[in-house]
Amino acid sequence: MVMSLEMIQKPRERMMLHSAAILSDQELLMVLLGSGTQDLPVELLSDQVLKTIGDVGQLQNISFEALCAIRGIGPSKATILKAAVELGQRVNLAQTLRQGTVLSSEALGDWLLKYYRGLKQEQLMVIFLDHKNQIISHEIIFKGGLNTSVAHPREIFHKAVLLSCARFVVCHNHPSGQPKPSKNDIAFTKKLVACGELMGISCLDHIIVGHQSYLSLRAENII
């Protein structure tokens, strides 16, 4: 395929000739959006998205409804952007955690600091692993504090059995910014460990994430 100078100046063609790494945030958005609207070309549309959300990192936090509310971004384009963010997170998670056959709590903690950044509600994520500590799946199981009226081990073990996993790691954030575990956090984790021993599905760790740091209950000998 012979490209004209005009084609080479376009983000998609520059990406084909070189790599995605050379494109700016705005140009990457242009590639994802594909086209603009009748009165808003894709260059202006992508610039408008960035100005509305503040920076590209906020694509993770902005709601689907808020994206759709941006002029020129309907459900179709909002779906593409949200799917791109989720795919990027999954690729990053898989690359971060697959350290041969060893799960690295340090690598996981560093990734979780990025994942939970800016979230204002507690989210409990469970990373399900096979016998080689490779990721089968990661799921958001609960949203909200880990009190007994909301969180129960059965949801985690139900999913673990469906996935035929061998072990799992529990992760959640403290929007207050301090990763110190609460009494509920510790009680919930000990209940997971005890249930896991009965079912033969191990709870390897519970990592709590604050604004600037994280805490591993396994490393602290709490479990």
> pLDDT digit of tens for each residue in the chain (223 aa)?
443 334 346 888 888 877 888 888 989 999 999 888 888 889 999 999 999 988 888 888 888 999 999 999 999 999 999 999 888 877 777 666 654 444 567 778 888 888 888 778 888 999 999 888 888 888 888 877 655 445 678 889 999 999 999 999 999 999 888 999 999 899 999 999 999 999 999 999 999 999 889 999 988 888 8
Q: Which CATH number describes the domain made up of 101-216? A: 3.40.140.10
Residues 6+ apart with CB under 8 A from 81: 29, 32, 33, 49, 59, 67, 73
d(CA 105, CA 215): 10
pLDDT, position 169: 93
pLDDT, position 3: 39
Beta pairing, strands 167-173 & 135-143: unpaired
d(CA 109, CA 213): 8
Residue 190 contacts residue 151 (beta carbons within 8 Å): no
5-92 shares its CATH topology with 101-216: no
Strands (E), 44-200: 123-129, 135-143, 167-173
Domain extent listing, the chain: 5-92, 101-216
Q: Over the range 111-142, which residues count as b (16 or more CB within 10 Å of their CB) and which as e?
A: bbbebbeeeeebbbbbbbbeeebebeebeebb
pLDDT, position 101: 43
Class of the CATH-defined domain 5-92: mainly alpha
